[in-house]
Amino acid sequence: MRRLLVMLAGAALLLPLASSAQSGLAAALGERPAPPSSVGCWSADASFTGAAFCLDGNHADQFQTAKGALDGEQVAFGELQLNGWQVPTRCNGNGTSGKREQLVYVHVQGQPDIYARVSTFLKTRLIPGANGVFEHTSGGKRAIRWVTTKTGTGCVPKILKVNVPRAANNSGYPFFNIGNAVLRATGGVKANRSFLVLVDHPDYRYECGLGQVRQDPSPGAANQNNFGGAFAMVWANCWTGLIAAHELTHTMGAVQPTAPHKTTYGHCWDGRDDMCYADGSPQKQKLVCKKPDDFRRLDCNGDDYFALYPRPGSYLAKHWNSAKSVFLINSKPAVLPTRPGKPTSVTVTSVDAHHVRVSWKAGVTKHGGTTSWTVLVGAIGEGTAYDENASYPVFGSSGKVTVKGKVRSALIAVKSSLVQGFALYGSNASGDGVTSAIVDGSASASPTALAGR
């Protein structure tokens, strides 16, 4: 099995930081290591949004939530954590009216702007991953209501781009500095908008992600967490759908300090689920929920912060329940897409001195089907150390050709007599997919003539 370190859209982005790597990053940035400090609560007067809130604490160890699923091998930004879990962004109304989450890309000046290289990844991998956390938890009955733009195949989140000076991210409280910059760009706090902010640089304090939570356990629609102006922020060292969903869930009111299994710093201890992890609080974690997918669900027991049908008389029946957030779409149960089956019978046939035809058979897909095939030309890596199915296209290649999902072959231009690897990546509408094995082939100067012609 071939191995390859994954890079996103050609951008040499950083792996999630373990504590042993922090000093190395600090040296690279010319900064001294500093402990996480953005933990605490602010009054309305001290808040940059005008509403009291608490910050949930540092998430440098958040990836350990999925330990076992990743088998200790941290692939770039944990994009494999949500294989088979991704769901396309839903269209809802005209895409702008009502209370919605606004996706924001923040470029920290003084370094290359990578937006052009990563915007497709954000729309087709990270956000569908965050969508999947809510949709799979609820059986499709809850979905994030994004500010969206219509495309030929559906809707995608509209990305607002904001530039900030380097000092905004490297001094004071970056969460406040960047949040203020976003508010200036959007015209201030508005009741119908909250924000997921993706910062294209690590925070020098090694924060992974932060999310505001308003401490209001009251059960009604007037709960403070239903108001706009809340911020979820994820720095580039932790761009993954799982962490984006985690921070968004904070902005929807999780986890309240009155919840049965709360931690001091705004999480839960009866894991594993997307909001439960060892956050430095005195409470010790207990592995209560042990199903393979529990780490990527919300509130695995439905008793602390998110439940569609809380038990009568239970805590969530009497207190704030994030499943009632007005920033979520309420819908009937939905059939969610599944990963395409692995393509097989990949063959490479010479056509002439400069072309080959790559053909394949599609694997079985339960729901959603395969919307596109990408032929990776000059494929040099396959799979990961823990995933023989090679789910996300973790390949290096010299080129690629994409065709529609109903197609089963593609004509590829190549250099004559150059033997190289070819592989197939089949993707569904949410960007979730699976890759084939690599097959070697080349074009020859004079292909064999067909009999009888």
324 and 363 co-located in one domain = no
- Does a structural domain hold residue 163? yes
- Does a structural domain hold residue 422? yes
- Does a structural domain hold residue 395? yes
- Does a structural domain hold residue 188? yes
- Does a structural domain hold residue 335? no
Order the strands of the 209-213 sheet from edge to edge: 39-42, 53-56, 209-213, 231-235, 193-199, 100-108, 159-164
Judge contact between 320 and 306, C-beta under 8 A. no
- pLDDT, one tens digit per residue, over 16-63 is 222 222 222 222 223 333 333 467 899 999 999 999 999 976 554 444
- Contact residues for 21 (Cβ-Cβ < 8 A; gap 6+): 15
Question: What confidence score (pLDDT) does residue 381 get?
Answer: 65
- Does a structural domain hold residue 448? no
Residue 134 lies in domain: 19-330
Burial of residue 382 (CB within 10 Å: 0-12, 13-18, 19+) is: buried
Residue 237 phi/psi, 5-degree rounding, is -70, -5
- Does a structural domain hold residue 9? no
Cα–Cα distance, 350 to 336 (Å, whole number): 39
Structure tokens at 85: 């879990």
307 and 381 co-located in one domain = no
417 and 291 co-located in one domain = no
Mark which of 266, 299, 330 sits at the end of a domain: 330
- CATH code of the domain containing 387: 2.60.40.10
276 and 145 co-located in one domain = yes
Burial of residue 351 (CB within 10 Å: 0-12, 13-18, 19+) is: middle
Mark which of 274, 303, 330 sits at the end of a domain: 330
Averages of pLDDT over each 10 residues, the chain, 453 residues: 27 26 28 46 93 76 38 44 87 97 97 89 90 96 98 93 95 93 97 97 79 96 96 89 94 97 93 89 90 91 97 97 98 87 92 96 88 89 42 65 94 94 87 84 67 39
Cα–Cα distance, 367 to 68 (Å, whole number): 27
135 and 216 co-located in one domain = yes
Question: What confidence score (pLDDT) does residue 383 get?
Answer: 44
Cα–Cα distance, 140 to 333 (Å, whole number): 5
Question: What confidence score (pLDDT) does residue 432 get?
Answer: 80
Mark which of 286, 304, 330 sits at the end of a domain: 330
116 and 72 co-located in one domain = yes
**Dihedral of the alpha carbons of 44, 244, 155, 227, in degrees to the nearest 10:** -20
Cα–Cα distance, 264 to 56 (Å, whole number): 9
Judge contact between 210 and 199, C-beta under 8 A. no
Q: How many domains, in total, are found in the chain? A: 2
- Does a structural domain hold residue 50? yes
110 and 81 co-located in one domain = yes
125 and 30 co-located in one domain = yes
Question: What confidence score (pLDDT) does residue 206 get?
Answer: 66
Q: What is the pTM of this model?
A: 0.80
357 and 316 co-located in one domain = no
Cα–Cα distance, 184 to 163 (Å, whole number): 11
Question: What confidence score (pLDDT) does residue 4 get?
Answer: 26
* DSSP code per residue over 191-234: TTEEEEEEESS--TT---EEEEE------STT-GGGSS--EEEE
268 and 360 co-located in one domain = no
191 and 322 co-located in one domain = yes
Question: What confidence score (pLDDT) does residue 384 get?
Answer: 35
* DSSP code per residue over 41-85: EE-TTT-TTSS-EEEE---TTGGGGGTTTSTT---GGGGGGGTTT
284 and 357 co-located in one domain = no
